[in-house]
Amino acid sequence: MSDRVIIFDTTLRDGEQSPGASMNTAEKLRLAIQMEKLGVDVLEAGFPAASEGDFESVSQIAGKIRNMEVAALCRAAKSDIDKAWGAVQQAVKPRIHTFIATSDIHMKYKLNMDRDQVVTAAVEAVRYARSLTDNVEFSAEDGSRSDRDFLCRVFEAAITAGATTVNLPDTVGYAVPDEFADLVRYVMAHTPNMGQAVLSVHCHNDLGLATANTIAAITAGARQAEVTINGIGERAGNTSLEEVVMALHTRRNILPMTTGIRTNLIYPTSRLVSMITGIMVQPNKAIVGANAFAHEAGIHQDGVLKNPMTYEIMSPETVGISANRLVLGKHSGRHALRSHLKEMGYDLSDDELNIVFTKFKELADKKKTLVDEDLEVIVTEGILRSADTFKMEYLHVTAGTTVLPMASVKMGINGRSIIGAGYGNGPIDATFNTIAKLTGTASELLRFSISALTDGTDAQGEVTVRLRENGLVALGKGADPDIITASAKAYVNGLNRLEYLKTHPSNTREMV
């Protein structure tokens, strides 16, 4: 058996099912390019039948990516498969990923189908997909709660119909590692033609066991891991890419399997996903959390200074966290900026570079040195969000111990500028009230959080807001050395994401 584990990333599909994490096409394309650089083998770009927006982003990604396989998800139905193929067919290496539920509870209550009908639907879907491409993945949704022998029967039929990968999901995050590994071994031993397909696993983190279950499954013989960056995804999320990859990398003495991931790009990719989706990484998150390599206890600090391996099982540099990052300052020229952005994965047109360069100079006037995180913010805010409905053109705030907090704001709304002023409980409240009045939003602010983007007192404040309007939830993110401006940017970004959701309705969550 091969010792190479195929990394299948579903940040753009299952990851996007995290509440509030919707991404626009430009953002998805940017992430796809980063995933390719990271060394992901298969990228699940979306669920084309779910919405026009999903169709559009899958086709754009399929048209751009050259080396990585691009997969499109679809239910086991001809019309869904046609949509998936329509979107993904121009990829150099396309994959159709079709699924149907196989657990008794899903078949009875969700599908209203019996076992024979499910086998027939799976076979027809795979056969049809196989008539379009020779790269077909079949998933048995809620596989971990399915009858074992029925699961083997479905997999055998799917492989006979042409599936080249069969995926065993722990859809509701119910499995525990020994049990899941045992299921993988059972399926491998009792599916007669399993040798003709790759066995994949796809775990959710409802019990915090997604990574453990994935590693257990790999140990038992699975050779594709379905994962997301930062573990984002439906409910408690999916297996996190960085945890699986670094577990295999760090413990290769007992887990002798490899991946194609360039581990030094893990941290920049994690930052990018957080920046684009607005979902912050918890500080104690393994591998990519702010505290993952921070040693607080004196005895630990002393040990690490003497020999890092006393308390560090991997070095921060291995995952791309470097103490000596290249920094740019206000004297850096356009050429240095362009080539550094290129290294970061941004191949900008001349017009885009002009926008970024102007913003770079503005920020460099306020902040001595700019590191990758700062540049990431400039590009995300300046380029990837260019199709926004609302733009903040001007903000002036007065606040203090003896004055009523007041904000004056000029907003560009669909190309028209309007000005307004308002007050509030504090400067942020005053700013949000004024923006709300100007944009006429009916949204409610569910959450507001702020942290420093980098070290130092001149660091940019990074703000995340969560907004809700008529059942739609959107996250907004903004950064600026001035925390009131950062808050306003995050709020406006959240409002723009709500607008995007209104015009790009996606019923993915109801479908999967």
By the criterion CB under 6 A, which residues form the site for ligand KIV?
14, 99, 139, 141, 167, 169, 171, 202, 204, 512
CB of 44 to ligand KIV, least distance (A): 9
Pick 204 or 285: Cβ nearer ligand KIV: 204
Question: Would you give the DSSP letter of residue 35?
Answer: H
Distance CA 471, CA 448 (A): 18
In the numeric block, the tokens 């990018």 are attached to: 272
Size of residue set near Zn ion by CB under 5 A:
1
Taking Cα atoms as reference points, which of 413, 420, 473 lies closest to residue 443? Answer: 473
Query: Which tokens go with 314?
Result: 């991997």
- Answer for the pair 84, 73: CB distance below 8 angstroms, yes or no: yes
Q: Which helix (H) or strand (E) holds 444?
A: strand 444-452
Pick 71 or 479: Cβ nearer ligand KIV: 71
Pick 7 or 363: Cβ nearer Zn ion: 7
Within 106-215, strands assigned E span 136-141, 165-170, 198-203
Q: Rounded to 5 degrees, what angle do the CA atoms 278, 281, 502 make?
A: 20
Question: Would you give the DSSP letter of residue 324?
Answer: T
Query: Which tokens go with 249?
Result: 């990398």
CB of 234 to ligand KIV, least distance (A): 7
Using DSSP bridges, classify how beta strands 224-227 and 198-203 pair: parallel, antiparallel or unpaired.
Answer: parallel
Distance CA 341, CA 372 (A): 9
Q: Candidates 13-21, 90-98, 371-379, 454-462: pick the segment binding Zn ion (CB under 5 A).
A: 13-21
Pick 227 or 348: Cβ nearer ligand KIV: 227
CB of 133 to ligand KIV, least distance (A): 18
CB of 101 to ligand KIV, least distance (A): 8
**Binding partner of residue 99 among Zn ion, ligand KIV, none, CB cut-off 5 to 8 Å per kind:** ligand KIV
CB of 61 to ligand KIV, least distance (A): 18
Query: Which tokens go with 169?
Result: 């999901």
Q: Please name the amino acid found at residue 400.
A: G
Calculate the alpha carbon distances from 133 to 76, 412, 424, 477 in Å.
15, 46, 59, 39
Pick 222 or 430: Cβ nearer ligand KIV: 222
Q: Is 27 in the site for Zn ion (CB under 5 A)?
A: no
Pick 211 or 464: Cβ nearer ligand KIV: 211
Distance CA 511, CA 159 (A): 24
Distance CA 343, CA 265 (A): 11
- Answer for the pair 76, 106: CB distance below 8 angstroms, yes or no: no
CB of 14 to ligand KIV, least distance (A): 5
Q: Rounded to 5 degrees, what angle do the CA atoms 253, 259, 264 make?
A: 95
**Binding partner of residue 141 among ligand KIV, Zn ion, none, CB cut-off 5 to 8 Å per kind:** ligand KIV
Query: Which tokens go with 282?
Result: 């918890």
**Binding partner of residue 359 among ligand KIV, Zn ion, none, CB cut-off 5 to 8 Å per kind:** none
CB of 49 to ligand KIV, least distance (A): 12
By CB under 5 A, what part of segment 77-96 binds Zn ion?
Answer: none
Distance CA 310, CA 316 (A): 14
Pick 243 or 373: Cβ nearer Zn ion: 243
**Binding partner of residue 146 among ligand KIV, Zn ion, none, CB cut-off 5 to 8 Å per kind:** none
Q: Candidates 8-16, 347-355, 358-366, 415-423: pick the segment binding Zn ion (CB under 5 A).
A: 8-16
Q: Candidates 7-15, 348-356, 400-408, 482-490: pick the segment binding Zn ion (CB under 5 A).
A: 7-15
* 6, 7, 9, 14: residue in contact with Zn ion (rule CB under 5 A): 14
CB of 80 to ligand KIV, least distance (A): 12
In the numeric block, the tokens 């050779």 are attached to: 223
Q: Candidates 9-17, 139-147, 288-296, 414-422: pick the segment binding Zn ion (CB under 5 A).
A: 9-17
CB of 512 to ligand KIV, least distance (A): 5
Pick 439 or 506: Cβ nearer ligand KIV: 506
Query: Which tokens go with 450?
Result: 């702020």
Question: Would you give the DSSP letter of residue 196?
Answer: G
DSSP string for residues in 212-247: HHHHHHHHHT--EEEEBGGG--STT-B-BHHHHHHH
Pick 234 or 499: Cβ nearer ligand KIV: 234
CB of 171 to ligand KIV, least distance (A): 4
CB of 435 to ligand KIV, least distance (A): 37
**Binding partner of residue 139 among ligand KIV, Zn ion, none, CB cut-off 5 to 8 Å per kind:** ligand KIV
Pick 16 or 381: Cβ nearer ligand KIV: 16
Pick 171 or 441: Cβ nearer ligand KIV: 171
Residues that bind Zn ion (CB under 5 A): 14
